[in-house]
Structures are given as C-alpha cells and as structure tokens.
Structure 1
C-alpha cells in the first residue's frame, strides 16, 4: 500500500463549490473500481442515481468531508445522522489510505455528536474495506433501479468506542 504522508493529505468540510468535483469523484470511482462486483448496467444505474439524487451540498443536515492531496480533491465521505451516505476515493488515489483517513475523520465527528453506532449500505466492492475497519455485516439487501434492475449491497454497522478520561470523574 502506498500511503500518503500526512503533509500531502488534508481533510476539510465540503463547500458549495466542491459539488461538481465530488460528483465526478463518485462517478469515476463507480465506473473504475466496481467493475469486478457489478455489471455495466448496474454501475450505470448507480451513476444515474448519484447524479439524480446527490445530496452533496443539498441536505443541510448531511456533513461531507473532502480529502485533498496537494490541493486536488481526491475523496469524500458524507455523514447523515448515524449513516455514512457516501465514501469515495478517486481511482487514481485508491488504496493509499485516503478512504481510511476519511472514515476515521467521520467516526471522530460521529463521536462528538454522541453517535454510538454508525451504519452504512456498503457496495459489494466496499465490503472488505469496511470489514477491515471494524464494521460488521448485518445482511444483504437490494436497491431496485429503473426497469427492476436489482443492485445488491451490504448493510453494515460499527459500534463506536468512547474513551473516557478517568481524571474527569
């Protein structure tokens, strides 16, 4: 794994002018990284769904974090309540630890909001990633796209551990 040094990666809260760039990351990631787990028809249905229903910047309760390498947007992770609604890394930057750092940042944010369990509807492609980060499989389900096309995903969850400072008691 080619991890990036902490000096080159930064994570920040998304701004309205990020939306087009983040949508592009999602589309490129779906088309390049999911080809072994989904048919071309399923991938294009997911791409179309992301374009139609993207809440990046549209839902005020959803928090989206952006990962940048040397000022270039390379990934995103979104949290809405106790649900991770998106986690994508551009294919050119995949498997370098960026997704893990985004996930860790969202988990820290969830803890500050007193969220005890995080849930995610993970793609088949993302299942091993989430499992490696402590998420447990809760079962398989299907998204039904246009013309009844079924797209499988995995319901997963992680119990967040809270650390306590015993000096506070």
Structure 2
C-alpha cells in the first residue's frame, strides 16, 4: 500500500474507550500479519486475547496512544504504564495493578501493535518516543518491557537491552517466548 511520504497526515492521540473495538481489530491484524515469522500459528492463536489484546487500564490511565489515518482508521498503538504489569491484556491471568515508584521502578513500555500495511514507516518509533517522553515527565528514569521476538529488533536499535527470556504459558498449552528488555532514560 502506498502512503504519502512522512507521517504528518496521521493523527497521533491518546486512546479512548470508544477505540476498543478498532484496537481489537488492529491488534489481531498486527499479530497475524507481522509476527507469523517469529511465532507458530499455535502460539499466535493462544496469545491473541490474553497476551496480545487490549489493556483498558492503559486507556483509563491516559498512557495509551493511537495513530490514525484519515483513510485507514487506526494503524498503530502503544503505550506505557505506571503500574507493575509488564505485559498482557485485560484477559491476562496475572496482573499487578499496583503503582510503580518512579524513584526506584522502571516505567513499563506496553502493547505496541502496527498494522502490517503500515509497518516499518516510523509509527512504532514515534509512539515509543512519545511514551518515553511522557514517562520521563512523570519522573521515571528507566524503562522496561516484555518485547515480542518481532519487536525486539526495533527496541534493540532504540537502546533497549535484553535481560531475561520469559516463557509465557498460554491457555491452549503452547508457550510464548517474550524478552524482558530495559533501558535507562536519556536525559
């Protein structure tokens, strides 16, 4: 799909509750289209919903962002959290909704998904820059995430370092490798 050069025609904004149906569609399209090279069909099927899904707490906390095209609708999303949950959706079996202490804890970079037709155009980087800036403004000095194998490449180029491999058990019996990555805030 051809797009105008640059991203100036796209709308970058906070996600709203009204976006949830479109976010569900975007997330599933992103996972099925972009992660098939890194995860098996069984892993993808088991992860859509509990791991790859909407986390409404991020929307309520006003730390989740969407990128919208006038013609295509939502083409990207991602956010950060001031809560302990590292990854997962509302359907995740383990959640830690307690607040983080910016003086000692790392802000959690969360739930990045880009529509396959809009991949590798700088949308993820734009969202990541906004998340890091907002978390820094909230007093956080470090960032942490549970990156997918697909996303690891972007985050590594942005200064994140892999520190742990996590095997997430999925409801269908499969496991999903996720990489815990960290980065110190650039001042």
Q: Same fold (TM over 0.5)?
A: yes
Residues in 2 aligned to 1:75 and 1:85: alpha-carbon distance in whole angstroms? 13
Which piece of structure 1 moves more, 130-139 or 70-79?
A: 70-79
What RMSD, in angstroms, separates the aligned Cα atoms of the two structures?
2.1
SS of corresponding position for 2:60: coil
SS of corresponding position for 1:37: coil
Match of 1:35 in 2: 36
Segments of structure 2 that go 5 or more residues without pairing to the other structure are 83-106
Residues in 1 aligned to 2:186 and 2:80: alpha-carbon distance in whole angstroms? 18
Matching residue within 79, 85, 91 for 2:110: 85
Match of 1:67 in 2: 67
Could you say which structure has the higher strand fraction?
A: 1
CA contact (8 A) 1:31 1:43 kept: yes
Aligned residues: 160
CA contact (8 A) 1:29 1:91 kept: yes
Segments of structure 1 that go 5 or more residues without pairing to the other structure are 163-169
Residues in 2 aligned to 1:48 and 1:13: alpha-carbon distance in whole angstroms? 22
CA contact (8 A) 1:3 1:96 kept: no
Give the structure-1-normalised TM-score: 0.86
Which piece of structure 1 moves more, 138-147 or 96-105?
A: 138-147
1:62: how far off?
5.8
1:18: how far off?
0.7
Q: Bigger radius of gyration, 1 or 2?
A: 1
SS of corresponding position for 1:73: strand
CA contact (8 A) 1:76 1:88 kept: yes
Summarize the alignment of residues 126-165 of structure 1 with structure 2, pairs less than 5 Å apart.
126-162=151-187
- 1:157 and 1:106, CA in 2 relative to 1: closer, same or farther beyond 3 A? same
Could you say which structure has the higher helix fraction?
A: 1
* Structure 1 residue runs of 4 or more that deviate by more than 6 Å after TM superposition: none
CA contact (8 A) 1:75 1:99 kept: yes
Residues in 2 aligned to 1:63 and 1:142: alpha-carbon distance in whole angstroms? 26
